[in-house]
Each structure stands twice: as C-alpha cells, then as structure tokens.
Amino acid sequence: AQKVTQAQTEISVVEKEDVTLDCVYETRDTTYYLFWYKQPPSGELVFLIRRNSFDEQNEISGRYSWNFQKSTSSFNFTITASQVVDSAVYFCALSVLSGSARQLTFGSGTQLTVLP
Amino acid sequence: ETGVTQTPRHLVMGMTNKKSLKCEQHLGHNAMYWYKQSAKKPLELMFVYSLEERVENNSVPSRFSPECPNSSHLFLHLHTLQPEDSALYLCASSQDYASGSYNEQYFGPGTRLTVT
C-alpha cells in the first residue's frame, strides 16, 4: 500500500519569506511518480510538478523548487519570496500502477497562508 | 471550453432526492476519475475509468453510481444520500498508457454537495 505524509497541517509566513513544505512517501514499488498540486480557495486542484522515481535531479521553476531525496523518501517543495497569491492548500501525491490506470495517493495537505 | 469542467458547481439535495453530477474533459484523455474531498480528510479516490471501463471502485457505497458513456464524459449518479456524504466531489482526467508511462491528472473545479 502507498502512503503520503504531510506533517505540516498549517503554515503561516509573512510575504517575501521563503517557505518549505514537507512530503514523505512510502511505497514498495520501484517505479513511481510524485506530484505536487495547489488548491486555491476556488477548489480546483492545479498541477504543479511531476517527478519520476529514477530522476533525482532537483527542479526549479521561477520561485518554486523541489528537492527529491530517494534516500529519505522525501519530496519537499520550497517557495522563495512568497506572495499572498501563494496562499492555498498544497497536496503532495504518489502514483503507482493500479490495473491499467494510475491511482494517486494524496497526502492530507498543508494549508499555507501568506500574510501581507 | 478548456480543461475539465464540472456541473453543477453547487448542489443541495435532500436524502430522498436523486441527482447527477457531470464531468467533461476537453483534453483528449482516456482515463477519468471521481474523488471525494471531505473536510480534514485526504482526497479519496472513488472511481476510475480507463478506456471507458471501470477499473477501481474502492468500496464506495452503492448510493453512488458512476457512468462513463465515452472518454470525454463522466457522471456520478446520487440517490438516497446521507448527510455525511456532503463534500467536494472532484473529477479528474489523465492520459493513461498501459505501457507504463505516467501522466499527471488534471482536475475540474469540483461540485460542492450538501445533503440535508
């Protein structure tokens, strides 16, 4: 069985601060994908990034960066110079093959509040 | 229309009513999903359709009945629901490859369901 743990339930920062959201996963599969999604108050989950289990290169996209550490089963997400618009719930998710379709296992989410 | 759309966005129904939620994806994907998001709980996968065949149902109560008439449309038929079924119901789609390629799921904005 798969499991994703986001230990931080809520984080509050002041605008322009850097913030890191933690994600720890568990799976016996050797081939898997990790994802981050953002859920603003409107409700729609917005896809941010996908990483596969064979690629441990860190990635940077603008103010966003991701640190994938297979040795610690972690896939952490850092927002640099946070902005009020970053306020949302962020979900980490794990995907392994289930039948012929992909099954996503989500963490419980981290509510990020960026204060002006 | 682009992406994944869901109607209605909000629904209030009594426990004896019958209603349906509709999802449509405009991305040319071949897999569609229903998720339930309750307060303080991780997203729960309810149903998966790949190539219009249901591949998972995750022990969902029979008062929820999915229908996938083609690869672009997905319905969730509701009848005799309980107050604890009140939640945000999210639809998602992805491009599924039996060969093992993993692709991200794209989500609709959800239907906020209240059962009175």
The pLDDT value recorded for residue A58 is: 83
- Which of B52, B102, B113 best tests the A interface by mutation, with the highest count of A CBs <10 A? B102
| Both structure tokens of A73 | 């089963």
- Higher pLDDT pick, B22 / B95: B22
Q: Which of residues 38-67 of B touch A (CB under 8 A)?
A: 40-43, 45, 48-51, 55-56
At B43-92, the pLDDT tens digits run 888 998 987 778 777 789 999 999 999 999 999 999 999 999 999 999 99
The pLDDT value recorded for residue B54 is: 81
The pLDDT value recorded for residue B52 is: 73
The pLDDT value recorded for residue A99 is: 57
Nearest residue in chain B measured CA to CA from A39: B109
- B100, pLDDT greater than 80: no
At A57-96, the pLDDT tens digits run 888 889 999 999 999 999 999 999 999 999 999 999 998 8
Which residue's entry shows tokens 């720890």? Answer: A24
Q: Do A100 and B88 touch (CB under 8 A)?
A: no
Q: Does B74 touch chain A (CB under 8 A)?
A: no
The pLDDT value recorded for residue B79 is: 93
Q: Do A102 and B105 touch (CB under 8 A)?
A: yes
- B23, pLDDT greater than 90: yes
Q: Which of residues 25-64 of A touch B (CB under 8 A)?
A: 31-33, 35, 37, 42-47, 50, 52
Q: Do B31 and A101 touch (CB under 8 A)?
A: yes
- A42, pLDDT greater than 90: no
Rounded to whole angstroms, the Cα distance separating B95 from B97 reads 7
The pLDDT value recorded for residue A100 is: 53
Average pLDDT of chain A to the nearest whole number: 91
CA–CA min distance A39, chain B (Å): 10
- Which residues of chain B neighbour A43 with C-beta distances below 8 Å? 88, 90, 109-110, 112
Work out the percent of chain B whose per-residue pLDDT is above 90.
66
Nearest residue in chain A measured CA to CA from B58: A103
